[in-house]
Copies of this chain bind each other. A is one copy, B any other.
Amino acid sequence: MPAYKKIQAAILQRIEAGELKPGDAIQSERELAKIHQVSLMTARHALGSLERDGVVLRRRGSGTFVAPPKVHFNKLMSFTEQMTGRSLRPASTVLSFGIVDEEPEVAARLALTPGTRLIRIERVRQGADEPFALETCYVSADEFSKLTRPALERGSLFSILEREYDIELSYADEEVDATSADATTARLLRIPPAAPLLRIRQVIYSTKGRPIIYVLGLYRSDRHNLLIRRFR
């Protein structure tokens, strides 16, 4: 492990342990260099990328300080993670699980040739026993042949892909708009027909930048809202 990463790890550990709280001063660059027996440039590099990750704030002439607690904006999280983060017990019901080969638009979004066989999964997502969303997701059937309905009912899709296929998911591009519930959706989500829904079409990419999952989600707008941070 490079020296600068060791320095970062040491600082992160002190923050996680609660030894350093937001606003507290970190050791100066020169102190860090001395303590870790590295040159000033290396200590600076360590702080530089901690700063870019939002862990730390540097003020010239004054020092380096622990940044305010991270707000989880623009974070890609599985449904399970979202729910547990809000301390709601997550649950899912698989409505359907099957293979389709006539979804050229979805295939295109996954950068696959039009006729490719896809696994199509329809789920109702629940939190605290209330339905939150209706999600339809697609992955390549040939690539993820080990993905079965029982496996999905046990664990989350994210974790299956990460564990069984060694695919690290990295980011998602989302298209968000509003729509209103049709009769079936309304019944499944236990809302009045034509109630407003947040519609999110999501392409989830691996660390290599390859599209892996396509998700169409319909979210009850009385139970869900997006938090986004945009930059100028």
A-to-B contact residues, CB < 8 Å: 41, 52, 71, 73-77, 168-180, 194-199, 219, 221, 224-232
A168 to B231, CA, bound (A): 12
Instruction: Report the copy number of this chain in the oligomer.
Output: 2
On whether the beta carbons of B198 and A180 are closer than 8 Å, the reply is no
Known: A176-B198, A177-B221. A76 touches B227 (CB 8 A): no
On whether the beta carbons of A196 and B173 are closer than 8 Å, the reply is no
Known: A41-B41, A52-B52. A175 touches B226 (CB 8 A): yes
**For A168, what are the chain B residues with a Cβ–Cβ distance below 8 Å?**
232
**For A231, what are the chain B residues with a Cβ–Cβ distance below 8 Å?**
74-76, 170-171
**For A232, what are the chain B residues with a Cβ–Cβ distance below 8 Å?**
75-77, 168-171
**For A197, what are the chain B residues with a Cβ–Cβ distance below 8 Å?**
178, 196
On whether the beta carbons of B179 and A176 are closer than 8 Å, the reply is no
**For A229, what are the chain B residues with a Cβ–Cβ distance below 8 Å?**
74, 171-174
23 A-B contact pairs sorted by A residue (CB < 8 Å): A71-B173, A74-B228, A74-B231, A75-B232, A76-B230, A170-B232, A171-B229, A171-B232, A172-B230, A173-B228, A174-B227, A175-B225, A176-B198, A176-B227, A177-B221, A177-B225, A177-B226, A178-B179, A178-B197, A178-B199, A179-B196, A180-B180, A180-B196
Give the Cβ gap from A220 to chain B, nearest Cβ, in Å: 9
**For A228, what are the chain B residues with a Cβ–Cβ distance below 8 Å?**
74, 173-174, 176, 226, 228
Give the Cβ gap from A211 to chain B, nearest Cβ, in Å: 13
A75 to B228, CA, bound (A): 11
